[in-house]
Amino acid sequence: MKSVIEYPPGPTYLFPYTLVRKFLRDPLKILIDISHTYGDIAHFKFGKQNVYLLNHPDYIEDVLVTNYRHFIKSRGLQVSKRLLGNGLVTSEGEYHDQQRHLIQPTFYPKRIKSYADMMINQALRMCNSWHNGAILDIHKEMTHLTLAIISKTLLGYDIKPEDDEVGDALLTCMKYFNRLLMPFGELIEKIPLLPINKGFQKAKRDLDSIVYRMINEHRKKLDKEHKKEDDDLLLTLLQAQDEEAGIARMTDQQLRDEVMTIFLAGHETTANALTWTYYLLSEHPATETKLQEELQSVFGNNRTNVTVEDVPRLEYTEKILTESMRLYPPAWALGRQVIDDYIVGGYTIPAGSIILMSQYVMHRDPRYFPEPDRFYPDRWTEEFKKQLPRFSYFPFGGGIRGCIGEPFAWLEAILLTAAICSQWRMKLVPSHKVVMKPLITLRPKFGMHMKVTKI
């Protein structure tokens, strides 16, 4: 006799795809509504798929840290393999652990600090290209900037700021993935002549061409003498092997997958975080004034002299970024698929179900963040941080699958904010419509049109 599954409370609808349509229109609102209505664990059907939304830090920690081996990446990341292949974000098990072991040294603190001058120089170059009173799409500017930084620091490759080829191709791929995640999304792939399929295939070819060009250029570098300390990530990966663990050097396909992952994960999230930060500063003049006071106290009148040594003194700058990523987390949800039946909150979650955990939802939970919709950087005192549960705030994920580039992203965000805001003020164009667009990352749907004023 088949046992009856007891589901946690959650929304139900007479017609099976009602929730799907609502979710596709505004997933952030749906997730917030479900969490507020049904509490720490909720169940709903996404088409025929059982989905469990976890809204408690302890439950999330159990999934991401304590019992992580009971789960694999959810369908969203399986879909991402179309572009990323078997890179660090999408790979599983022993292979993932091996790759992470090889890549990890590139993100050690001393190595990350060595990238700081490059980050600052790229930011200053962008600032020098702006004109007083110009109206710019700041999201586009930040995307160009972070792409140039990730390419130069980790991949030893120069991408010109005005070159839209990579950014446009990545955006095409993200839109494609989102379409595939819809119910019946697999059917889209089976009709090759659809414009969305042709667009994705062209974008993937363009990106592959760039990445394989990088790999070939780096293979030539290996034939010449070079200083070990000058090695970027790609050169490190080309040489990497672990003889003790019996890990051989990577093939071009493996390298391609890791580089593509770094391309996508390494610039888009930081560009979004910076864009939302400048938007919030524009909307909160008192906070921006306080930021300017800190920058003045650290740099004085020499506003172009930003260095990595200044980072510990940029405490308020860090608080602003922390609060910005609370309200607008670059990655807004994580998914895991259950391998074997799993118990959480007194409920058995059957194998094959999807567990959803949303940074956007948790970061706005009033149990942990009083006045959760308020932009209030001063909340981030040492005392406040100490009493926060680990997974009430997790913009970079966590556990064994946490973002390997988190220290890189934090340093980059602080340095860029200091370098840019030392020279320019940004004010949202009053007529510009600001709408969140939750694709793989949380983007501004219509960009972020702002007027820049020289300080």
pLDDT digits (tens, 9 = 90+) for 103-126: 777 777 788 888 899 999 999 999
pLDDT of residue 246: 52
Q: Which of 82-91, 172-181, 269-278, 349-358 has the lowest mean pLDDT?
A: 172-181
Q: Over 90: is that where the pLDDT of 403 sits?
A: no
* Phi-psi map region of 92: left, alpha, beta (phi>0 left; psi -120 to 50 alpha): beta
pLDDT of residue 189: 56
381, amino acid identity = T
pLDDT of residue 389: 97
Q: Over 90: is that where the pLDDT of 195 sits?
A: no
Of residues 19 and 288, which shows the higher confidence score?
288
Report residue 192's pLDDT band, with 50, 70 and 90 as the boundaries.
low
Q: Which range, 9-23, 25-39, 66-80, 366-380, has the best average confidence (pLDDT)?
A: 366-380
Q: Over 80: is that where the pLDDT of 7 sits?
A: yes
* Phi-psi map region of 447: left, alpha, beta (phi>0 left; psi -120 to 50 alpha): left
| Mean pLDDT (whole number) for 263-268 | 78
Fold exhibited by the domain 18-454: Cytochrome p450 (1.10.630)
Give the closest residue to 436 by CA, choosing from 364, 367, 355. Answer: 364
pLDDT of residue 349: 96
Pinpoint the alpha helices (H) of 13-161: 18-25, 27-38, 57-61, 75-84, 93-103, 109-113, 116-129, 138-155
Of residues 372 and 156, which shows the higher confidence score?
372
Is the CA virtual torsion 297, 393, 71, 436 positive or negative? negative
The SS3 of residue 329 is coil
| Mean pLDDT (whole number) for 429-451 | 94
Q: Over 90: is that where the pLDDT of 319 sits?
A: yes
Residue 28: CB atoms within 10 A of its CB come to 17
CB 30 within 8 A of CB 19: yes
pLDDT of residue 361: 98
Distance CA 183, CA 186 (A): 8
The percentage of the chain sitting over the pLDDT mark of 90, rounded to a whole number, equals 50
The token duo for 170 is 């990545």
pLDDT of residue 162: 56
Distance of CA 247 to the CA centre of its chain: 29
pLDDT of residue 99: 79
Report residue 242's pLDDT band, with 50, 70 and 90 as the boundaries.
very low
pLDDT digits (tens, 9 = 90+) for 68-92: 888 887 666 666 777 778 877 777 7
Q: Over 50: is that where the pLDDT of 1 sits?
A: no
The SS3 of residue 43 is strand
Please provide the average confidence, as pLDDT, over all residues in the chain.
86
The token duo for 421 is 């805001």
pTM above 0.95, yes or no: no
Distance CA 5, CA 8 (A): 10
| Mean pLDDT (whole number) for 378-385 | 97
Q: Over 70: is that where the pLDDT of 191 sits?
A: no
* Residues β-bridged to residue 73: 336
pLDDT of residue 243: 45
Tokens 């172009």 — which residue? 304
Distance CA 259, CA 250 (A): 12
The token duo for 446 is 């219509």
Which H helix or E strand runs over 350?
none
Query: CA gyration radius for the chain?
Result: 22
Q: Over 50: is that where the pLDDT of 244 sits?
A: no
| Mean pLDDT (whole number) for 26-50 | 92
List the chain domain ranges.
18-454
